[in-house]
Amino acid sequence: MSSTSPLTVLGDYSMDEKTINIHPNDGFDLGLMTTEYVVRIHVGEEADPDALSDDAFVHGRIFLKNEVRNGHVELGLRNAERLGDARRAIIRYEKGDRYGTVLVNPA
């Protein structure tokens, strides 16, 4: 499982819980090269995807956008609230057979 360095969390009320935006350089740390991926997303403390049930995930998309500053992650407001008081988060990515898995954990 690959991960980013701690990223500054930006909560955006106009985004839903199925969308994550990061800079392409941060995506490169995860092994992501194209601009969009369909993934299973979990936001919270758990860092092991095997310890989570399938209904703990939501199917969504991770976008690599140059408009996002390097070292930042844009999340919907609901997902940002799931991180608690954490202002920084680590994104973990595991490639899957059909969909990749993204875990967003407080740093």
pLDDT in tens, 53-78: 889 999 999 999 999 999 999 999 99
Query: Using one digit for the tens of pLDDT, what is the confidence trace for 4-38?
Result: 999 999 999 999 999 999 999 999 999 999 999 99
CATH domain 2-106 topology: Barwin-like endoglucanases (2.40.40)
Per DSSP, the chain holds a count of helices (H) and strands (E) of: 2, 8
Q: Give the span between the Cα atoms of 54 and 3, in whole angstroms.
A: 21
pTM, 2 dp: 0.91
Structure tokens at 57: 């995930």
Q: Do 20 and 104 meet the contact criterion of CB atoms below 8 Å apart?
A: yes
The Cα–Cα gap between 13 and 73 comes to: 14
Cα end-to-end distance, the chain, whole Å: 16
